[in-house]
Amino acid sequence: MAASTSATAAVSFSLPSYPRRGLRRLRRRPSLRAASTAAPPSPDLSIQLSPRPSPRSSPPVVPSLARDRADDLQAESRAMTRAAAATVYTPELLASRYGSQPFQVALRAAEVLSKLGAFGLTLLLDQQRGESSSSAKRRARAVELRTILTRLGPTFVKIGQGLSTRPDLCPTEYLEELSELQDSLPTFPDEEAFACIEWELGFPLDSMYSAMSPSPIAAASLGQVYKARLKYSEQLVAVKVQRPGIEDAIGRDFYLLRGLGFLINKYVDIITTDAVALIDEFARRVFQELNYVQEGQNARRFKKLYADKQDILVPDIFWDYTSAKVLTMEWIEGVKLNQQAAIEGQGLKVLDLVNIGIQCSLRQLLEYGYFHADPHPGNILATPEGKLAFLDFGMMSETPEDARVAIIGHVVHMVNRDYEAMARDYYALDFLKPEVDVSPIVPALKNFFDDALDSTVSELNFKTIVDGLGAVLYQYPFNVPAYYALILRSLTVLEGLALYADPNFKVLAASYPYFAKRLLTDPNPYLRDALIELLFKDEKFRWNRLENLLVQGRQDREFVAKDALQPVLKLLLGPDGENLRVLVVKEAVRVTEAITFGTLIGSYNAAPEFLKPLISNGNPAGPFKISDVEREQMLELRDTVLRIWGLLRSSDTFDPSLLQPIVQVLQEREARVFGSRIAGGVSQRLAARLLQQLLRIPPAPVPGSS
């Protein structure tokens, strides 16, 4: 947990007094032990510490430096014991818990059905009047729905946020409006929060914290967050406390929604998705969010996978101060990623931070498959050191291994405009059942992408792709898996942050460095071939992509050209590198020709005017039989190659010695064979060009000339 440092006024806080009634029968817990690393005080909060007598003995502590992995595991085990009674969602649980509460359920049902029923009636009237196809009318109804869901409370706010990621269920206007749902709600009384902390952890507040903010620094649908200082170590922490009665309220709502889901499945033909299964899946995720020990374990797993990168920061969890309803995390000072002025005021650049987020997200989605499913601006902070801090690990998801390869393949098919292959990808992605015929989907994909793609997919905004695919998904019998819907949400949010800073930002172009790294390291031959197609198959854009890779790579602190050279050579000369070798031979021929003729054309253009007729033998078009289009293409390629060479030489990591492995590899038989292929291709092309010039037909005389 963390807070933005955008506040300018200083706030002092100390332990407030709160009612002690009802706290005397607190359960006694095992001895608490705590550990952390020291953190600097918050610059925007001056903390006033006042000694307070502890009515009971304080929990024993162990200095943080003495803690090791075994201690941490023991503390986590104690936290799991405290959370042993946390509810795990099952449909049977809802039936047993709320089936015997007909009056309470009926009251809530009346409230929900009256508001949603009235909204449904307006949609029906729109349809009868022929207004349902109007984008403006759908936008107005989407705003109404967002307001209704907010008023219905936390469950429906969560549902609205979930629907904002489902293009198979909602039109574009609804997706955009629901994505703006904010789950911020009025705070609940501090006394109840402090009582919850004492009850859950088994010790008085005074014995655990030397100071705590008198009011929450953040509040959401499921809980609220306080800033505190641990008594034993004086470290700043964030303490998240669950909203009282939230589990019962959410459980009752899902009990109602399951009943509604059965009715939808039976009577509503236009919704092809299994509504009950969708509700069950969503309810499981929400109930997992209610178990803060599970969230702490999510954070630990995320940190193990991704915080090894020096640009990524994940807060530590204090297990001895954590239970099912209380989560204590390291306090992270930072600025929300959508506060551009505050970020730049610290000497940082938003786009650099977004690029870090994109590279990390691609690792999450396509490498390990475990990803942060709720990366909104409040959950991603820019630290003063330029790191990207991920927070709030309640909503996590996983991408199946087969789907990771299929997603990359799907991007490749978009690049190549292979719409039939794109449609077949939906089987592998589990969007469609095997018996569904994809042939009607192909024209819809073609119509969208042929209109949207002026040049290449890399020039598209990700949101444009999502909106276009969403229109297709909404019209056909797709069932978008939960993991994929969350992927769309993650990448769309990141791109939105980038576009806020730079309207010309292209998230797919920024993804190329990650795909290049996967190309060099992934052992899957199918995936390597797909990545080669993605990065280099398009002859018109492959050098622009290489230039983009170098520009993006220079922003990656882990990018070192020398380290990348060996795997490139290994892949190029290895048994699985034939596709890449074909591309390299073809490009070597094109580049040699472009540099040779580009240099000759440049020399001719720089020659004195009185010499040009002699050099061109009186040909006003110049000495070379080359069309204007071909001439421009050659000069453009030559200039691009020279720019790339300049980027390499100006790189901080460039060292001429990095070319030494090439010299060593050239001594191997495979390299000599490959070199002969390049030399043969270049010789044939230059010889053909020479014959073309020698056999050139003289130009027709210009009328009126002597």
Task: Determine the Cα–Cα distance for residues 412 and 320; give it in Å rounded to an integer.
Answer: 48
Phi, psi values for residue 327, rounded to 5°: -125, 125
Q: Is residue 320 part of a domain?
A: yes
Mean pLDDT, range 573-597, rounded to an integer: 73
Same domain for 429 and 513? yes
Q: Is residue 194 part of a domain?
A: yes
Same domain for 128 and 238? no
pLDDT band at 4 (very low <50, low <70, confident <90, very high): very low
Task: Determine the Cα–Cα distance for residues 260 and 117; give it in Å rounded to an integer.
Answer: 12
Same domain for 450 and 313? no
Task: Please answer whether residues 394 and 417 qualify as being in contact, where contact means their C-beta atoms are separated by less than 8 angstroms.
Answer: no
Domain extent, residue 600, equals 560-695
Same domain for 142 and 277? yes
pLDDT band at 661 (very low <50, low <70, confident <90, very high): low
Task: Please answer whether residues 546 and 643 qualify as being in contact, where contact means their C-beta atoms are separated by less than 8 angstroms.
Answer: no
Q: pLDDT tens digits for 626-660? A: 677 777 777 777 777 777 677 666 655 555 555 55
Q: Kindly state the tokens that stand for 191.
A: 């006394």
Mean pLDDT, range 153-176, rounded to an integer: 76
Instruction: Give the residue, 559 or 639, on which the prediction is more confident.
Output: 639
Residue ending a domain, choose from 460, 488, 517:
517
Same domain for 172 and 202? no
Residue with tokens 């499945």: 265
Same domain for 212 and 323? yes
Annotate 529-544 with b (16+ C-beta within 10 A) or e (fewer): bbbbbbbbbbeebbbb
The whole-number pLDDT of residue 655 equals 53
User: 316, 374, 392, 522: which one is catalytic?
Assistant: 374
Instruction: Give the residue, 354 or 330, on which the prediction is more confident.
Output: 330
* Lowest-confidence pick of 71-75, 388-392, 605-609: 605-609
Same domain for 491 and 573? no
Provide CB contacts within 8 A for 662, sequence distance 6+. Answer: 565, 569
* Lowest-confidence pick of 128-132, 236-240, 300-304: 128-132
The whole-number pLDDT of residue 62 equals 40
Q: Is residue 526 part of a domain?
A: no
Q: Amino acid letter at 456?
A: T
The fraction of the chain above a pLDDT of 90, given in percent, is 18
The whole-number pLDDT of residue 389 equals 93
Active site residue 374: yes
- CATH code at 217? 3.30.200
Instruction: Give the residue, 213 or 428, on which the prediction is more confident.
Output: 213
Q: pLDDT tens digits for 595-616? A: 777 777 777 777 777 766 666 6
**Residue 495 in 3-state DSSP?**
helix
Average pLDDT in the chain: 74
Provide CB contacts within 8 A for 530, sequence distance 6+. Answer: 405, 408, 409, 412
Mean pLDDT, range 293-304, rounded to an integer: 94
Reference 212, options 191, 237, 195, 187; nearest CA is 237
Instruction: Give the residue, 611 or 60, on which the prediction is more confident.
Output: 611
Same domain for 448 and 311? no
Same domain for 571 and 622? yes
Instruction: Please say if the pLDDT value at position 237 is more than 90.
Output: yes
Q: pLDDT tens digits for 317-335? A: 999 999 999 999 999 999 9
pTM: 0.69
Mean pLDDT, range 85-114, rounded to an integer: 89
Residue with tokens 């405009």: 417
Q: Kindly state the tokens that stand for 635.
A: 């000069």
Q: Is residue 22 part of a domain?
A: no
Instruction: Please say if the pLDDT value at position 123 is more than 80.
Output: yes
The whole-number pLDDT of residue 44 equals 41
Task: Determine the Cα–Cα distance for residues 476 and 532; give it in Å rounded to an integer.
Answer: 32
Q: What angle do CA 212, 216, 218 make, to 5 degrees?
A: 130
pLDDT band at 227 (very low <50, low <70, confident <90, very high): very high
Instruction: Give the residue, 615 or 379, on which the prediction is more confident.
Output: 379
Q: Kindly state the tokens that stand for 491.
A: 């990448």
Q: Is residue 164 part of a domain?
A: yes
Mean pLDDT, range 87-100, rounded to an integer: 89
Q: pLDDT tens digits for 453-481? A: 554 555 556 666 666 676 676 677 777 77
**Residue 505 in 3-state DSSP?**
coil
Same domain for 116 and 262? yes
The whole-number pLDDT of residue 551 equals 60
Q: Is residue 391 part of a domain?
A: no
Structural domain count, the chain = 4
Cα of 546 vs its chain's centroid, Å: 23
Same domain for 116 and 260? yes
Q: Is residue 500 part of a domain?
A: yes
Instruction: Please say if the pLDDT value at position 451 is more than 50.
Output: yes
- Report the half-sphere exposure of 162 (CA within 13 A, side-chain side): 21
Same domain for 98 and 213? no
Residue ranges of the alpha helices (H) in 478-541? 482-501, 507-510, 512-521, 525-532
Task: Determine the Cα–Cα distance for residues 76 and 70; give it in Å rounded to an integer.
Answer: 10
Instruction: Give the residue, 685 or 373, on which the prediction is more confident.
Output: 373
Q: Is residue 701 part of a domain?
A: no
